[in-house]
A and B are shown apart, each in its own frame.
Chain A
Amino acid sequence: MELKPLEREPALRDPSQPLAGTVRHRALAHRWPRLKVGVPLSEFVFDGITGAAALTVVVLLLAVTTVVIIEAWPAVGRFGLRFLTSTDWDPANEQFGALPFIYGTVVSSLLALAVAAPFGIGVALCLSEMAPFWLSDILGFLVELLAAIPSVVYGLWGIFVLGPWLRDYVEPWLGRYLGFLPLFRGPRVAVSLLSASAILAVMVVPYVSAVCRDVFSAVPASLREAAYALGATRWEMVRMAVLPHSVSGIVGALILGLGRALGETIAVAMVIGNRPAISASLFMPSTTLASAIANEFTEATSDLYVSALIELGMVLILISLLVNVTARLLIYNLTRRRFSS
């Protein structure tokens, strides 16, 4: 059979002509080196919008920190490093030392995380690995609801339920068995560092478990199946395939939880007792950076007092920054060790 020639050549675009709707202005292309003449206009618009959004984040961060630093400057100039090491917080005599606040913040948050971490990871493992699918969906939703309860409601619950319960049942027990440690000695009060840690732990658990659940479900099914196919039980599969794959994600979840605990304000203010002093016992009232700012801002009459409170905020930002940088380094080290050698 004879082959018929094609009736007409397909129309080819002249490559020297730009596509319709492209940036034609050489000047623009020159100013924005990534864009070349011939790139569709939509690309240019997309780059512009996303770039602007990203830039906003940087600008906001700089603006907030700048204002905080400027406003805190009178207190920084007056007290210097003594602000961080002094335990003397005496607004009447204009003496301001942040150490009790730093102590309360760090101790309550770390304690909360120590309690919340095993619980949160456990809940996440149960949701993603153990529970039947329908139950896991329901429980997962409930956990997310738990994270959505406003912190002031947690605070109320802390005042009326958790605090008295800790005082009447948990603190006597701790005193009896661990009373040889100064941490668990002394009078028992419902508003205390322990109450604050407990309420923070309750608030942090849903965060840790929600993130960990996502981390665990991101483990490739192929790895789980590889473990099962070798005759692993569920727990062995978790140890072989899920946990090693999730280490950096778990660290991230914990850091997120810690960040939440460090910055939590109103629930802590309601149960911690707001006493700017360091005491060895967890049963005693204490205070934190965030709750002090919220409590005392309205009564700060002098400029120096306001400035000192803002410096507390600055310290809080620094602590959060420190936590995040440490977390990054930790994750970096963990992943590098795993994939090198």
Chain B
Amino acid sequence: MAKLSLVHLSAYFGRVKTLKDINLDIPEYNVTAVIGPSGCGKTTLVRCLNRMHEVVRDARVEGEVLLDGENIYAPGVDPVQIRRRVGMVFQKPTPFPTMSIEENVIAGLKLNGSVRNSAQRAEIVERCLRLAALWDEVKDNLGKPGTSLSGGQQQRLCIARALAVEPEVLLMDEPCSSLDPASTARIEELVLELKSQYTIVIVTHNMQQAARASDYTAFLLNGVLIEFGETKQIFTNPKRQETEDYITGRFG
């Protein structure tokens, strides 16, 4: 079943049309990878899914994105509510520099005031850090600043922070691009573990990563969705010549 459906979705930065009429169904409880060469609109695509695209100056969207059948761009829809249901992890780890590890994890929950007492707080922090496979490394230093961690740890902290608000969908925008291979492997394992509970969309320019970690793959080129299908099919038997050229490394 499609958790998210993109219907004739186009995205603009000023007059530049970055995404051109995308139609795509993202299946629930699966990992969908978005691949394509730099500048093809991968990041813009996922940013349209939680209304982060419009945060940028002069950026706008045409078309619809249906979350459980409801258009998130319908008038009267509060983007804040959408973002609580559709969490996001960015390319660069972005822990809040003034907050400790614990405060970073709890930051999103504090917003909707759902943390009542310290016991509950500790429970949530531990659960999310365990989910993000970071607990064992930081459990004795929860009071340390989030920025004191290594890059890979910071990214897992950001994943824990995104999971703490219990989203239904998790968007990951090249989450491993600034990480070393060991941290990358950990995050890929994590993605595979999380997909039983979350619908995950992961942007990557690393084709091995898409092949390893995803169930479905969407290939974008110059803002156009060239091909979408099961990852196995895309990588072994692509239907379009452009897809084949890209995954065999002929360009990009």
A107 nearest CB across to chain B (Å): 34
Is B44 interfacial (CB 8 A cutoff)? Answer: no
Is B149 interfacial (CB 8 A cutoff)? Answer: no
Of the stretches B15-23, B85-93, B193-201, B218-226, the one at the interface is B85-93
Is there an interface contact between A231 and B90, defined as CB atoms closer than 8 Å? no
Q: How far is the CA of A203 from the CA of B234 in the complex (A)?
A: 65
B24 nearest CB across to chain A (Å): 21
Interface 0/1 of A209-225, CB less than 8 Å to B: 00000000000101111
- The listed residue (A223, A226, A236) touching B111 by CB distance below 8 A is A236
Is B115 interfacial (CB 8 A cutoff)? Answer: no
A226-B90 in contact given A231-B80, A231-B108, A245-B97 (Cβ < 8 Å): yes
A220 nearest CB across to chain B (Å): 8
A337 nearest CB across to chain B (Å): 10
A-B CB pair tally, cutoff 8 Å = 71
Is there an interface contact between B165 and A231, defined as CB atoms closer than 8 Å? yes
Is B50 interfacial (CB 8 A cutoff)? Answer: yes
Of the stretches B4-12, B28-36, B51-59, the one at the interface is B51-59
B87 nearest CB across to chain A (Å): 7
Is there an interface contact between B98 and A341, defined as CB atoms closer than 8 Å? no
Is there an interface contact between B87 and A226, defined as CB atoms closer than 8 Å? no
A173 nearest CB across to chain B (Å): 38
Q: How far is the CA of A230 from the CA of B110 in the complex (A)?
A: 10
Number of interface residues of B (CB under 8 A): 29
- The listed residue (B57, B96, B145, B162) touching A240 by CB distance below 8 A is B96
- The listed residue (A133, A232, A339) touching B145 by CB distance below 8 A is A339
Is B40 interfacial (CB 8 A cutoff)? Answer: no
Q: How far is the CA of A44 from the CA of B158 in the complex (A)?
A: 48
Is there an interface contact between B162 and A245, defined as CB atoms closer than 8 Å? no
- The listed residue (B90, B92, B98, B111) touching A232 by CB distance below 8 A is B111
Is there an interface contact between A225 and B94, defined as CB atoms closer than 8 Å? yes
Is there an interface contact between B87 and A230, defined as CB atoms closer than 8 Å? yes
A244-B96 in contact given A222-B90, A228-B55, A228-B83 (Cβ < 8 Å): yes
When distances are taken between beta carbons in the complex, the residues of chain A under 8 Å from B161 are: 230
When distances are taken between beta carbons in the complex, the residues of chain A under 8 Å from B81 are: 231
Q: How far is the CA of A275 from the CA of B206 in the complex (A)?
A: 76
Is there an interface contact between B98 and A230, defined as CB atoms closer than 8 Å? no
Is there an interface contact between B90 and A230, defined as CB atoms closer than 8 Å? no
Interface 0/1 of B66-105, CB less than 8 Å to A: 0000000000000011011001101010101111000000
Is there an interface contact between A231 and B83, defined as CB atoms closer than 8 Å? yes
A230-B165 in contact given A236-B111, A338-B98 (Cβ < 8 Å): yes
Give the contacts of A190-246 with B (CB-CB under 8 A): 220, 222-233, 236, 240-241, 244-245
B112 nearest CB across to chain A (Å): 7
Q: How far is the CA of A339 from the CA of B125 in the complex (A)?
A: 22
When distances are taken between beta carbons in the complex, the residues of chain A under 8 Å from B112 are: 231
Q: How far is the CA of A241 from the CA of B165 in the complex (A)?
A: 17
Given contacts A133-B58, A339-B145, 8 further A-B contacts (CB under 8 A): A222-B92, A222-B94, A226-B94, A229-B90, A230-B87, A230-B162, A231-B80, A240-B96
